[in-house]
């Protein structure tokens, strides 16, 4: 099953790389990465993805409590999860700012551009 096309999305997905855990109703836990997020859901990726469409899960990103949701699609090592309750928009924006990349932003100091090591 292919993920929904962009035209059906209610809001723009913000790209992130957030380490997280995913626990299924049966209690199985999987380490994964959240790859994009909105107030209504997220896309996760794992080399050992063990969920199927329709599964109820709890995704626990770094720095947050668990987010309950339903797996809506699975393609290869990725899955789309719809949250049971929407996230607060400023929380999503904060996560995007903090986790949009593993490498810090470039900072411009006068004529020189420096990149800080991660």
Number of neighbouring beta carbons within 10 Å of residue 25: 9
Residue 117 pLDDT: 42
Q: Ranked by mean pLDDT, which of 12-21, 41-50, 73-82, 99-108 comes out on top?
A: 73-82
Q: What is the pLDDT of residues 7-47, one digit of tens each?
A: 454 677 889 999 999 998 888 888 999 999 999 999 999 98
Domain 6-115 has CATH 3.40.50.300: no
Given a cut of 70, whether residue 5 has pLDDT beyond it is: no
Please state the rounded mean pLDDT for residues 82-106. 82
The answer for 76, left when phi > 0, alpha when psi is -120 to 50, beta otherwise, is left
Please state the rounded mean pLDDT for residues 69-93. 95
The answer for 113, left when phi > 0, alpha when psi is -120 to 50, beta otherwise, is beta
């Amino acid at each position: 099953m292919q993920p929904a096309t962009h035209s059906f999305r209610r809001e723009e997905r913000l790209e992130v790389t957030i380490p997280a855990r995913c626990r299924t109703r049966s209690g199985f836990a999987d380490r994964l990465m959240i790859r994009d997020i909105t107030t209504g859901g997220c896309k996760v990726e794992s080399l050992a993805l063990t969920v199927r469409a329709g599964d109820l899960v709890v995704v626990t990103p770094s720095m947050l409590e668990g987010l309950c949701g339903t797996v809506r699609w699975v393609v290869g090592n990725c899955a789309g999860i719809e949250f049971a309750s929407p996230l607060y928009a400023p929380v999503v924006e904060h996560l995007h700012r903090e986790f949009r990349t593993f490498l810090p932003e470039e900072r411009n100091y006068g004529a020189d551009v420096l990149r800080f090591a991660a």
